[in-house]
Every structure is written in C-alpha cells, then in structure tokens.
Structure 1
C-alpha cells in the first residue's frame, strides 16, 4: 500500500468529490486561488518536472518560497516525486542561507523572485545545486517556474512507507545555528489527526488564516496539513502580517479559524483597544504557539473577539503542538494538558520525575517525533532518547494537572537560591497597562549574584515609571522576583517565528 502523504492530503479529495473546492486563496498580490483538483494536477506536473530535470528520489529540494500558491505545489510535488522538500525561513540573511544550502546538500533550489537578491550571494560557491528555479522572472542561469513545469508530464505518486523520509525543516536557531530536522510521511497525518482534529476540530466548511508562515512547523500544520486533511480552505498572505493587514484580511476574507503567535496577538489587542470599537470578523476559534501566551493577552483578546485562543506548545522536532489547552477548557497562562496521542513528563537533571508543583524539563513522546537531526549525531542522541524527546523547556504542573511554562532550560536562573522563571516575570510585567511586551534575562549585580533584568516595549502613547513597575511586579509574583533593572527599548530581538531571542540579550550582559 502506498503511504505517500501526498495521496492523503491532496489526491484523496478528488475521489471524495472535493476537486472543485478552493484549497488555497491568496489574500495579497494577485489574489489567485487553487482548487484541490488544480493542486493535484500541478503538484503531479511539478513532480514530473523534477524527474525530467534529473532530480532523483531522496534528493533535497530547497524551498525559499513565500506563502503563495507555488508553495503547496512544490512541497507536495516533491513528495510525489519521492524527493525531499526542505522549506526554508524566508527572513534570513545570505550567510545563513549559504550554511543551510551547503549543509542540506540540496540539488535544487526553488525561490520566490522577491527573495532572489538575498539568496544570490549564498549560492556563488555552492557545489551541490544543479538546478535553480525562480517563481517569477528568472535571472541568467536560472529557470522560471513557468518554464520548469511547462509541458511536464503528470507523474505518478512515488511509492512510500509511513516511516520513510518525507521532508526536512530547519530549526529556528533561537539558541544557535539552525539544524536540519528530518520528518517522516506518517508525521504529517499524525499531527492533523491529533491536534488538528481532536483539539481544534477543523471542519470542511472552515476558512483558515494563519499568520505563521508555512516554512516552519507551526505554520505548515495550520495553513496546509490541518485544513487539507478535512478539505477546508486556507487564506495565505505572502507579505508581512501587520495589524493593519491582518484586520483587512479578517474583514474581507472572513476566516473562521485564526492562527497566530503571542507577539501578534498582543499587537492586535493593543491596536483594537486603541480604536475603542469591536473588531469586524467571523472567527470562531484561534490558536497560539511559538511562545507561551501571556494570560492577560488571552483574556483581553477573548473579551474583544469573543473567540477563545487555544494556547499550546510544540516544536520543530515534534512537528506541531503536543501540549495544549482545548476549546471550552481554556486556562490562560497555562499550556494545558497533553494532546491525545502524546505523553509528557517533567524530569530533573538526573532524569527523575519531579514532584508535582516543582519545575522540571519537559519530555514528550508521540507519533510525530522526528527521526533525528541531519549530521548532528551528538545532538540527536541527547535530544531523541528512545521514545522520548527532550524539549529544552522548563515547566511545572499545577494541582489541576495543567502545565505552566517556566522558560527554556538555559533561561532559568536562581535568585536567593530559588528558581526564577523569566516568563513568570514577563507575564507580570505584561499585566501593567503601559507594557506591550517584555523579555527578562539574568544579570549579575555588584556582588556577582544573579538578578532579573527586564527589557520592555511600551505601548504607543504610553509612559511608565520604572520604579512603580518594579513595585507592580513585587505585588504580582513576589518580592525577590522583581527586575532590578528595567530598560525601555523600541523592539525585542526575535526569530522569524516570533520567539524572543533572550540569548542575544544575555550576550549584552543584561544591558541594552
């Protein structure tokens, strides 16, 4: 039996009568659309073009593609050919692309024309790329996507097993150089069957809008596999999601499911509160991941939008969310409980289970874990330990059985001999009406003892007394946890996925 994931997510819909249903619609640019039948045909022809151009089974196809119709065509087309698509972060710099393209040994690169000048310097010395396809006008030495697929025969979908390599994703690199994470065909359906169906409950009549881009794990599920599993429609946005553009898409495209990240939820709430009116939308449910959603943001969003935010935690290594709140059972400020099909544990430095209420590292086991990292044997062995995957996240479990985020393993520090969670301090800061967002790191005082140092972004038109803000934190979470230093900044360093890069703040010694 052929278990190639493309058969389930793409071709199955033709046999089930959804060929004419819109699968993807662009919200910006030319505002093109693609039905399930058109996706099946175009992905098959992309597969045929790969074969015709000498791209063989198991070879990597690097995808530096914005959220546009060609993304699902290339991704599923590569799977149909038996090649390995490698979606890349579209917001990196040329030196990082050079590292990734050499590390992956991709034989082909498909790139959106808008990104060509950025990646061009990265391929000058590359000896692995045999074909470069540009979506749009093709520079000299490259082939346009239109010419690449022109007259290509529709290929038969390659035979594949559930546990066969399907695609790679490169980790966001929030704590170092990106690593190639290798995923299997079965993992795509595993995440849509669990979080997509049993938590979010996506339906065929849903219209899904994910501001999280398809190049990374959270967006790949939200915008592609979850809606495609049920034959729903996805709204895609190639450009940068700003409050203005997101509000416009909510109004014109009328999505019923919205998937965002905490940073954007905070910005949307602040903008809507400034307007002083109710938002125009028809959203029934939202999802959040990437970082823990501050309790105050979740409550304010639900008050304005009347729609719950299902906040959870996932990772590139597990492909999507494995620990989550669920509709009708939301406790903002927590990551909820294990998603059906997954198990989690909290362990100490010796891998012993910690007592209830104490902080430990989160371990997870489930059907979507990656096979390992590419060319990172030591890191693979330390992260993927039998059935369990180390997340690098610190949590504690409440008496009600809910998991509460405490920070990354390398973010935690002790004050007066007691562990302090940067996220707990950030959440207290975020409950002050003038604070838009914050980041907390450890900084040594005059006695070389670690204390919290906070970097904060203030809402437009607001001001703040830092001493009063310290008192606010003391009152919220305890006398010893308040930030001894508070620095106001215009913005916080983040990855393209919206995660705060606290290591960059730590590198400054906790000073702006």
Structure 2
C-alpha cells in the first residue's frame, strides 16, 4: 500500500569533520556515497557474491543475496510512502529482515531509526513521534504498536521483496544522514543520535580492519544487538565491509546457546558485554573450552570488565579479550585495545583518528596520572542530537564530545576507566566511587555480581549499601558479615557499606549497562 501524505523533505547534509567528501561511487572506491550502493559494488568488485554474509538459524545468506534483497526491499519501502530524507523506524529483532530494511532505507536516501523491539509501548511511541517516522517496520508481537502511523511487518517485507523491482540508489554523499540511534536512557529521556553514510566505512577502516584485522575468513557472533551502536558495528558493518560473515540471533543468547553457536559456525570473533562474559564463565567448570577452539579474539564493551574477569574469560576462550569503550554519539569505539596492544584492566589507547583529553569539572586538562572526565574528538562523532539543540550545545563543544566517563591515563598511553561521572556517590558529604568498593567485594568467591549505592535510610541520611548477586547457595547473615569485614579491612571507613542486600539480579539496560539510578532507590 502507499501512504497518502505530503512529500518528505530532501536529504539534510550534516558536515562531519575528518570524513572526506567523495566524488562518486563509480570514480572513488575509497569514499562511499550511498552506503547501500557502495557495499553492493564493493561485494561485486571483490568477488564476495557467493560468500556467506549472515547466518540465521540453519540458513546462510550470501553477500550477493543480501544486497539484492536490500535493493528490492527499498522498492517495497518506497511503495509504502518512503521518500529521500524520510525517517523509517525499525523495531526489529536481529535477522535478515533487519538487514534488508536498513539497506532498503539507505538505498532510498531515507534515514533508518534503530530501536530496541522489546521496549515498552510508551518508549516506542515517544521515539516514533520524536523521529517523525513516516513508516514503522516491526517484528512479531508489535502489531498493535504505532497505530497512528503506517506500519509494515517484517514478514510482509520479506514476502514482498523477492518479486519487487530493485530500487535505484538515491544520490547522497558521505555527510548525508543515514541512521539514528537513541541513547540507552539509563537515567533520563533517550536522545536520537544522527550518523551519516560515511561513518560505517570509518568504523571498519579504523577498528575492524586496523585494530581487529578482520578478513573474509572471519565469522562474528555479537551478543550485543544490531540496534545498539556496539552491535551495529560488530555484526553489520564489519562483515559487509570485509566480506566476512556474522551469526544473527533474534534474542540474547544464553551461555549454552553461545557454546552451540560458536561450535556450529566456527566463530572466530566474539563480542559481548561484561555481564554476559561473567555468565559464560559461571555456567561451566574449568577446562570446558573445546567449543571455543575457533575463537581468535573476543571484545568487551558496554561497561568496564571487573577485576579478574578478563583473565578468567581469556582462560576459558583461549584467546585475548580486548576491552574498548565507545558511545552512541561516537558511533562505535573511540578507545580500544587491539591485537597489537592489549592490556587487561584498561580500555586501551585512542582509536586511530580520535583524540582523547581528560578534563576536570571546569573543563581544564588534568595532568597524566590524574583522574578526569573523557572528552573525545574524531571523524564519526555526531554533529548533534535529533531535535535537541540545547542538548547538542551542552554535550558537544568545538567538535569535542563530553562522554561523562571518568578515566586515568597510564604511562603507556592506555586509559583506565573509572566509571561514569554521574555514578559517583555522596556519603556524609564525601564523594565515593562505587567501582572501588565493588571491586573489593567482588573478590569474595561467593559474589557473582555487586552494585554499591548511597541509599537513604529511614531518617533520610545516605548510607552506603551493597546489592549482591551471590554465587550458589549461601548463608546470608554470615556472608554479609564477611563482606562488611572485607570492605572494612581494605577500604577507608566511609567507603565501607553499612549493609548488604542479596538479590537475584541487578537492574540493567537491554545493552547490559547497570541502571544505577534504580540501585540508588534501594529496590527495583
């Protein structure tokens, strides 16, 4: 069907520092114009047409099939009213429909709005309204969402695309908006971050190719999903730019599912978050590593790896675990360990092409060895939030992004992540880093996960409280006594938790980040 409405606006150009302006896809193979057309031409030029690009269930889709399907999906989207510059909301689980819809939107010069399909209805409604989406492409179970907008089901898209004529690629350049991703919203209303047609190639050139050395032979499994910045680069960008393949899973895989998928597809690159790596280690005894024999490297992001966990995961996988840090605003990692330089306990060095400065609260640079807030400048840092000029001005200054991450620069140029600036706790007028307390408590063998926060008591005074996910069966009173004694022995008195609460899980976002604002409430 075709929606009846006024024509959409033309493409909006947002200049991005550090990304060269291309001449055309045909005469400059190093600089993309329309991303979908560029990737299709790249696959043909490199002879990747018959190579697997994505594995879903027991079906493999080749690079040739993917780009053909994307071009035909573009025609379906156009027949549903999508025009250049329009925004198309994708509320889809990882799968070939997600890939086809994204490539189809890119081919039309439209802007894909990537959202988590498992969000509550109110958040979906907010994002659709905020993005002014002209079409919502949704997965199963969302048929009743977006009632006031044109909607296309994933199954409909895949049914219509094979017989549709391929859409022509709309002419755009590297600075034209390509997609919008919303910040995870751990503490407030999510903000739409705009990225351009030139950004994905930069992610691959600087990280996929240079730091991870991805080749055609690699097979990727990313626990983080395509609608997150981390997963988008891992499982969509890197495979299509390198001629390699990725395993797509519609739900977050359990440790047992990870074992099976890695063994079945001979996965070489595993991407995950600390909480999932912790579950992978906890799910087995020592020595059960044969299913990971194909893995040559793993990557961790989303939060800092707890002390000791990286070494345990490396022992399990028989491969390095490369920690990195990025943001939705940067598009992917801006600081990362690599196969050439890997140091556990740090988030590595700045990604080539990026600059990192540590500043104090007043914006002044801090000396080496001192803690400060990370400010980042680089080729894929967004030029702004969607419809949020005041937020843009507050977060971006002179091309520098205020990440609100705290870090310390090590003598070798690596950065040690010290948590979020807004994660600091105030106890009795003294600022306390919860990460320091959590690291001490996590050293106890009966602690699987822990979060520490200043929680108001009955009188309204803030008291430091530890929320612990125990390892196995415990005697709560005895373990609480041991943990408080452990903290008292290793930390200053004001950093020692006054109480310990045992919980079955900690509140996290869908991307695995801890929701500290919920922990501070003392219940969730």
Return the TM-score normalized by structure 1.
0.91
What pairs with 1:170-249 in structure 2 (closer than 5 Å)? 170-249=182-261
1:416 CA displacement: 6.9
Q: Could you tell me how far 1:355 is from its partner in structure 2?
A: 2.5
Whether the aligned pair in 1 keeps the contact of 2:289 and 2:318 (CA below 8 Å) is: no
State how 1:263-342 maps to structure 2 within 5 Å: 263-273=275-285, 277-281=288-292, 282-327=294-339, 329-342=341-354
Whether contact under 8 Å (1:314, 1:323) holds in the other structure is yes
State the match for 2:13 in structure 1: none
**Distance of 2:131 and 2:498 partners within structure 1:** 44
1:12-64 Cα shifts (integer Å, max 9, x gaps):
111211100010011x3xx3221111111111111122223321101111111
Which secondary structure does the structure 2 equivalent of 1:13 belong to?
helix
When residues 226 and 476 of structure 1 are mapped into structure 2, their CA distance, relative to the original with a 3 A threshold, is farther
Map 1:85-234; keep pairs closer than 5 Å: 85-113=112-140, 115-117=141-143, 120=144, 122-124=145-147, 126=148, 129=149, 131-136=150-155, 144-149=156-161, 151-234=163-246
Change (3 A) 1:196 1:32: same
Q: Per-residue deviation at 1:164? A: 1.0
Deviation at 1:357, TM superposition (A): 2.7
Q: 1:511 to 1:97 in 2, by over 3 A?
A: closer
For residue 476 of structure 1, report the CA deviation from its aligned partner: 4.8
Matches of 1:319 and 1:184 in 2, distance apart? 10
SS in 2 for 1:492: coil
Deviations 1:396-420 (A, max 9, x none): 2234433222222211135577642
Q: What is the SS of the residue equivalent to 2:178?
A: strand
The question of whether the paired residues in 2 share the 8 Å contact of 1:33 and 1:69 is answered with no
Q: Counterparts of 1:454 and 1:116 in 2: how far apart (Å)?
A: 38
Partners of 2:466 and 2:303 lie apart in 1 by 17
Q: After superposing the two structures, state which structure 1 stretch, 220-229 or 391-400, moved more.
A: 391-400
For residues 370 and 457 of structure 1, do their structure 2 counterparts lie closer, same or farther at Cα, with a shift above 3 Å needed?
same
**Distance (Å, rounded) in 2 between the aligned partners of 1:86 and 1:400:** 39
1:397 aligned partner: 409
How far does residue 195 in structure 1 lie from its aligned partner after superposition?
A: 1.6
**What residue in structure 1 maps to residue 434 of structure 2?**
422
Q: Cα deviation per residue 1:351-398 (whole Å; 9 max; x = unaligned)?
A: 001222332211100111112111111111111112100111122223
Residue in structure 1 matched with residue 72 of structure 2 by the alignment: 45
Residues 182 and 11 of structure 1, relative CA distance in 2, 3 Å threshold = same
Q: Measured at CA, do residues 417 and 299 of structure 1 come closer, stay the same or move farther in structure 2, by a change above 3 Å?
A: farther
What stretches of structure 1 of length at least 5 have no aligned partner? 137-143
Aligned pair 1:22/2:49, yes or no?
Answer: no
* Maintained 8 Å contact 1:434/1:463: no
* Alpha-carbon spacing, 1:431–1:449, altered in 2? closer, same or farther (3 Å): same
Contact 1:279 1:304 in 2 (8 A): no
SS at match of 2:422: coil
Greater shift after overlay, 311-320 or 42-51? 42-51
Report if the CA contact (8 A) 1:210-1:260 is conserved: yes
8 Å contact from structure 1 (residues 81, 158) kept in 2: yes
SS of equivalent residue, structure 2 residue 291: coil
Q: Give the CA deviation at 1:472.
A: 2.6
Q: Do the aligned partners of 1:314 and 1:322 also contact (CA within 8 Å) in 2?
A: yes
Q: Secondary structure of the residue that 1:90 maps to in structure 2? A: coil
Q: How does 1:377-396 map to 2 (within 5 A)?
A: 377-396=389-408
Distance 1:309 1:476, change over 3 A: farther
After TM superposition, the score normalised by the length of structure 2 is: 0.89
| Residue in structure 2 matching 1:10, options 16, 30, 40 | 40
Contact conserved, 1:346 with 1:395, CA < 8 A, in 2? yes
